């Protein structure tokens, strides 16, 4: 069932606009990856300190996303989305004028709080605009904004950092976020709203084994990717011998692969189902990380493995959201998506911090082994989640599941 009997007007334009939200906060999060050297030079700190800002941003997002849903999830979603965009703009403006690393740290935290308000509300809003059989494609459309942040935001940020100034990209975010906030405020109207949720609702969601292990999978897969992606520029330069001038093109190729993967997820989601598509994505990541460890240390093989990584690395995002929507009742969708966004950014934080520490101590050689281990653990978490879901479905069918006032299994 849809969240509302009356679909919102102009939803065909609303879905891309919600994807624009993902693009803006995704670009604000990922832009630092292509600007490590420029910002480090300006603030007179090592590049690893700038990588730590990626971790701080992600950790802040992870902690505040479910909290904001508990406090404000009952409000009209346009308030969360538009308010989050204004906070994002304020943080971007603070970044433009940040004179040092500490000021940049506070600006990153402000941007992360804004992003935490936007992401779950945007996904829940998109799911409410279409019928259940079209949710996979709708969520893929919205998450395409994050893919576009990788294919366009990060490379453009790297280019502007060399041609103009790294502060320029945050100036553009400062201008764009309020305009998008105004458009969505006007388009979305008053509804639909979520439901007021008690603080214990988040813990109850984690008590559900299938949901818990699904969230753990998201955390581990993102940690595995960001262990290497945060330091993709030095990885490709030092391990595969690419020139510094090639890095903008490298980031562009990585992003194009992400676009292809997201399109595949939208096309195959209804045919394969979320679990098969997620499993294919994880196996592709394992092959890519293992390949980057084993192929000759030349640009060609390195780029081929990086392209496989980029294609498969985002294929699981949309089906993961679709699966969570299926695992919980409609009233808890926003909270489940907030928990998923929290797990995603907590994984990004863990991966960025791990990569920064490994790079500072051992260089690029240990990045891919660490990514491979984390991704393998993510595959195990997926298997645990699927096994738990099947066990609970079997218990429901046979009538052996004991239910109480707080059932462990949620059925739509």
Lowest-pLDDT range, 96-110, 241-255, 276-290, 371-385? 241-255
38-75 tens-digit pLDDT: 898 899 988 878 878 887 888 888 888 878 877 887 77
- Dihedral pair phi/psi, residue 76, rounded to 5°: -55, 140
Q: What mean pLDDT value characterizes the chain?
A: 82
Contact 210, 95 (CB under 8 A): no
pLDDT recorded at residue 404: 39
pLDDT tens per residue across span 210-242: 888 999 999 999 999 989 988 888 899 888 988
pLDDT band at 193 (very low <50, low <70, confident <90, very high): low
The pLDDT confidence band at residue 206, using thresholds 50, 70 and 90, is: low
Q: Which residues contact 75 (CB under 8 A, 6 or more apart)?
A: 193, 194
Q: What is the mean pLDDT of residues 142-149?
A: 80
Percentage of the chain beyond pLDDT 70 is 85
Give one DSSP letter per residue of 363-409, joined into a string: GGGGHHHHHHHHHHHHHHHHHHHHHHHHHHHHHHHHT-----SS-S-
Model confidence at 2: pLDDT above 70:
no
> What mean pLDDT do residues 350-355 have?
86
- Selected residue with higher pLDDT from 266 and 159: 159
C-alpha distance across the termini of the chain, in Å: 9
Q: What is the pTM of this model?
A: 0.71
How confident is the model at residue 33, as a pLDDT?
75
Kindly indicate the confidence band of residue 331, based on its pLDDT and cuts at 50, 70 and 90: low
The pLDDT of residue 125 is 82
- Quickly state the pLDDT bin for 382 (edges 50, 70, 90): very high
Note the pLDDT of residue 346: 83
The pLDDT score that the predictor gives to residue 412 is 31
- Domains in the chain with CATH codes: 14-398 (1.20.1250.20)
Question: Residues 87-112: what's their mean pLDDT?
Answer: 94
Question: H helices within 189-273, ranges in order?
Answer: 200-207, 209-229, 232-238, 247-272
The whole-angstrom distance between residue 254's C-alpha and the CA centroid of its chain comes to 16
């Amino acid at each position: 069932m849809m969240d509302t009997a009356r679909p919102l007007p102009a939803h065909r334009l609303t879905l891309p606009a919600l994807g624009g939200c993902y693009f803006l906060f995704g670009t604000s999060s990922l832009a630092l990856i292509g600007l490590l050297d420029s910002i480090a030079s300006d603030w007179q700190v090592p590049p690893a300190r700038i990588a730590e800002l990626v971790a701080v941003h992600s950790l802040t997002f992870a902690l505040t996303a479910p909290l904001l849903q508990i406090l404000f999830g009952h409000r009209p979603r346009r308030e969360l989305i538009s308010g989050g965009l204004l906070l994002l703009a304020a943080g971007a403006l603070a970044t433009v004028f940040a004179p040092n690393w500490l000021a940049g740290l506070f600006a990153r935290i402000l941007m992360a709080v804004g992003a935490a308000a936007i992401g779950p509300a945007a996904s829940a809003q998109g799911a409410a605009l279409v019928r259940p059989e079209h949710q996979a494609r709708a969520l893929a459309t919205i998450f395409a904004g994050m893919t576009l942040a990788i294919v366009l935001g990060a490379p453009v940020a790297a280019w502007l950092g060399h041609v103009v100034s790294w502060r320029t990209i945050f100036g553009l975010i400062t201008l764009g976020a309020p305009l998008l906030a105004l458009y969505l405020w006007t388009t979305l109207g008053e509804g639909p709203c979520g439901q007021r949720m008690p603080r214990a609702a988040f813990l109850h969601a984690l008590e559900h084994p299938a949901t818990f292990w699904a969230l753990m999978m998201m955390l581990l897969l993102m940690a595995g990717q960001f262990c290497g992606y945060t330091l993709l520029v030095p990885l490709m330069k030092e391990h595969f011998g690419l020139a510094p001038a090639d890095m903008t093109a490298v980031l562009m190729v990585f992003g194009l692969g992400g676009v292809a993967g997201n399109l595949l997820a939208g096309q195959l989601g209804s045919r394969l189902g979320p679990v098969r598509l997620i499993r294919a994505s994880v196996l592709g990541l394992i092959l890519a990380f293992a390949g980057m460890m084993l192929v000759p240390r030349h640009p060609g093989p390195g780029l081929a493995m990086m392209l496989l990584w980029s294609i498969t690395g985002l294929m699981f995002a949309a089906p993961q959201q679709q699966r969570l929507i299926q695992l919980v009742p409609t009233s808890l969708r926003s909270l489940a998506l907030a928990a998923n966004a929290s797990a995603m950014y907590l994984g990004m934080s863990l991966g960025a911090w791990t990569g920064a520490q490994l790079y500072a101590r051992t260089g690029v050689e240990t990045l891919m082994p660490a990514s491979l281990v984390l991704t393998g653990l993510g595959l195990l978490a997926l298997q645990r989640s699927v096994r738990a879901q099947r066990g609970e479905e079997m218990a429901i069918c046979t009538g052996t599941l004991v239910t109480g006032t707080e059932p462990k299994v949620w059925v739509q």
